[in-house]
Amino acid sequence: MKRLAWRRLLAGATLVVLVLPLLAACTTVAVPTEMAAVPAGPVQGGTWTEASSADGTILNPILASDAASFDMMPYFPGLLGTNPKTGAVEATEMAESWTVSEDSLVWTFNLRPGVTWSDGEAVDAHDFKFTYNAIASELVETPRKANVAGIESIEVIDDLTVRVTFTDLKCDGLLDLGLGWLPSHLYAEDFSDIMDSPLNTAPTVTAEAFGFKEWQRDNFIAMESNDGFWKGAPNMDGQIIRVIPEASSRLASLEKGEIDVMGLEPTQLTRVGLNPDLNIFKFKDDGYSYIGLNQANPANPLPGQDEDGNLVEQDPHPILSDKMVRKAMAHSLDYEAIINKVYLGQGYKLASNVLPAVGWAHDASIEPYAYDLEAAAALLNEAGWTDSDGDGVRECNGCATAEAGVTLSLNLKTNAGNSTREELGVLVQDQLNSIGFDIEFEAIEFGTLVGELLGQTYEMVIIGWTGLGTDPNDDSFWHSKFDTPGSGFNFVSYQNPRVDELLELGLETPGCAAEDRAPYYYEIQQIIHDEIPYLFVTGSIGNVGYSNRWEGIDPGTWSFSWNIHEWALTE
């Protein structure tokens, strides 16, 4: 479920609010008709309350790595905005405009004048430079170092102009510049106080719609509205995020009016739908669920490339390295039934790796695999996997990848506690076993699963991606250079030199125009669809339940609360 972190991507015009004089109080004075017709301004006051399943860890945008923390720190301005409906990059945040060099390596951003921190200091190019230099500093321990890996230099031309030079052309490089800026005037110039600064738990200034008020760990965080917000003072007094780990308790709180919004699970949709005080916002999320098929031998994980960048031949998985077996699996799953029974209709069939949400790069002409048990059985027979002893499990009788007599037995894992994935696992086990597989399914603790996944010591895994963002580049899943046991995300050991080449071309397209990049991603999707390193189970549909006591809420796929400063109580 995509969280409400999109709030950071505030965009849109400021609503100018005119508050009528308190004429109504003067009951003896006749109100002229013309004046009575003037609409009243938005109601002022009230507190917007959200529920989060987990507490944040730290309120510093360059140290945090979890969604809950980013939700809890809408204080730090960002360089670029995102259109809440389309996901397109827009000049709606600190960057008012920008120019790009011909080789697309040098980006010069003109910053918005007049934006200040709540203590009166200007938000300017020095804050941007300080933030990114801090990430690069050896004094700062942060997983965000990837954000500066492709940056050659950052120059402050003047207070409101900053120039970023990238080392290599990377069409999704702008996403690296998306972190919130730190108020540089509150930190030591040498970054020595960043790791243990008290500001990490209690930021004293803000340049966004809300400012920090109080944080009680594992309980709540309270934020007050920032009247000096450059897009306009919020109508509400502030917002609170309550930490409520249990989904049923969150729903009870929403129904009782103790919170105003929460991400809904499919089982909660009916109750919220029947409640006249609540609305539901449904959207195609930027994520999907899949079954990863490890094509290499889990007993002998090898990197995809050697130190010189040459492909390393993998020790193949005795069953899953056979494309015909993978294709048979793809035909054995009843996606319609899975989406309806497991996801309660909150999903959609998916043919390949680029989501419809990234419209310009998504190839809608590729059809998802059809549920066709006859075709699946024929493929397995053709591949040399037959049930010669009549025990219901096929064995290798002339197969290409395993020794004769090896049974079609595989282990399928997922993370325990995720009831949807656990249900999916049982259904998949049932459906694959029905055509002669012998699937052992187990749900294990998430940390353990992550260890096995990245260590590439598993065979099949049910997992999903979320927050894939607005760019179609997903080289970390498919490029052989990211097949690095222990840490790479190409943990299915997928190797295809053409896909490696296409991914590089898609990222390094001169000018980075969508129409020039799209053909590369179309071809990638077709190859991924044909070679089946993943069984694409369903695209994610997100549902947000929210109270109708607020007006002005205009949620988009990429941001629910982009215009939160305009929201007001209905009465």
**Footprint on this chain of other proteins (rule: CB under 8 A):** 47, 49, 54-55, 57-58, 63, 65-66, 138-139, 141-143, 145-146, 149, 175, 195-196, 200-201, 213, 216-220, 222, 224, 237-238, 240, 242-246, 248-249, 252-253, 255-256, 258, 445-452, 454-455, 465, 474, 476-477, 482, 484, 486-489
> Partners of 223 in the beta sheet?
212, 239
The phi and psi torsions of 174 (rounded to 5 degrees) equal -60, -30
Smallest gap from Cβ 373 to other proteins, in A, equals 34
CA 91 to CA 552: how far, in whole Å? 22
The residue (of 316 and 469) whose beta carbon lies closer to other proteins is 469
The residue (of 273 and 486) whose beta carbon lies closer to other proteins is 486
SS3 of 224-269: the string is EECCCCCCCCCCCCEEEEEECCCHHHHHHHHHHCCCCEEECCHHHH
Smallest gap from Cβ 500 to other proteins, in A, equals 16
Check: CB of residue 11 under 8 Å from CB of residue 81.
Answer: yes
The residue (of 194 and 439) whose beta carbon lies closer to other proteins is 194
The residue (of 239 and 407) whose beta carbon lies closer to other proteins is 239
3-state SS, residue 568: strand
The residue (of 268 and 484) whose beta carbon lies closer to other proteins is 484
Regarding beta strands 151-158 and 550-551, do their DSSP bridges make them parallel or antiparallel, or are they unpaired?
Answer: unpaired
The residue (of 297 and 484) whose beta carbon lies closer to other proteins is 484
The residue (of 359 and 486) whose beta carbon lies closer to other proteins is 486
> Partners of 465 in the beta sheet?
288
Helix and strand numbers (H, E) in the chain are 14, 21
Smallest gap from Cβ 197 to other proteins, in A, equals 9
* C-alpha torsion sign, points 49, 52, 57, 58: negative
Smallest gap from Cβ 49 to other proteins, in A, equals 8
CA 319 to CA 397: how far, in whole Å? 13
**Would you state the structure tokens that stand for residue 411, as one six-digit string?**
């282990």
Smallest gap from Cβ 460 to other proteins, in A, equals 17
SS3 of 451-487: the string is HHHHHCCCCEEEEEECCCCCCCCCHHHHCHHHCCCCC
Closest of 208, 176, 186 to residue 93, by C-alpha: 208
> Partners of 528 in the beta sheet?
none
CA 169 to CA 404: how far, in whole Å? 50
Smallest gap from Cβ 67 to other proteins, in A, equals 10
**Would you state the structure tokens that stand for residue 225, as one six-digit string?**
């509205």
CA 417 to CA 424: how far, in whole Å? 13
Q: Put the strands of the sheet holding 151-158 in their side by side order.
A: 95-100, 106-111, 161-166, 151-158
The phi and psi torsions of 293 (rounded to 5 degrees) equal -115, 110
- Provide the H-helix boundaries in 167-298: 247-256, 269-273
**Would you state the structure tokens that stand for residue 284, as one six-digit string?**
């195609």
Smallest gap from Cβ 476 to other proteins, in A, equals 4
Smallest gap from Cβ 259 to other proteins, in A, equals 9
The residue (of 200 and 433) whose beta carbon lies closer to other proteins is 200
The residue (of 217 and 282) whose beta carbon lies closer to other proteins is 217
Smallest gap from Cβ 141 to other proteins, in A, equals 5
For residue 151, the number of C-alpha atoms closer than 13 Å in the C-beta half-sphere is 21
The residue (of 201 and 397) whose beta carbon lies closer to other proteins is 201
The residue (of 167 and 248) whose beta carbon lies closer to other proteins is 248
CA 276 to CA 294: how far, in whole Å? 48
Smallest gap from Cβ 162 to other proteins, in A, equals 22
* C-alpha torsion sign, points 539, 545, 546, 551: positive
Smallest gap from Cβ 58 to other proteins, in A, equals 5
The residue (of 49 and 184) whose beta carbon lies closer to other proteins is 49
Smallest gap from Cβ 246 to other proteins, in A, equals 5
Smallest gap from Cβ 382 to other proteins, in A, equals 35
Check: CB of residue 212 under 8 Å from CB of residue 241.
Answer: no
Cα-based angle 402, 408, 410 (whole degrees, multiple of 5): 105
The residue (of 65 and 434) whose beta carbon lies closer to other proteins is 65
Q: Hey, what's the torsion of the CAs at 474, 477, 478, 480, to 10 degrees?
A: 120
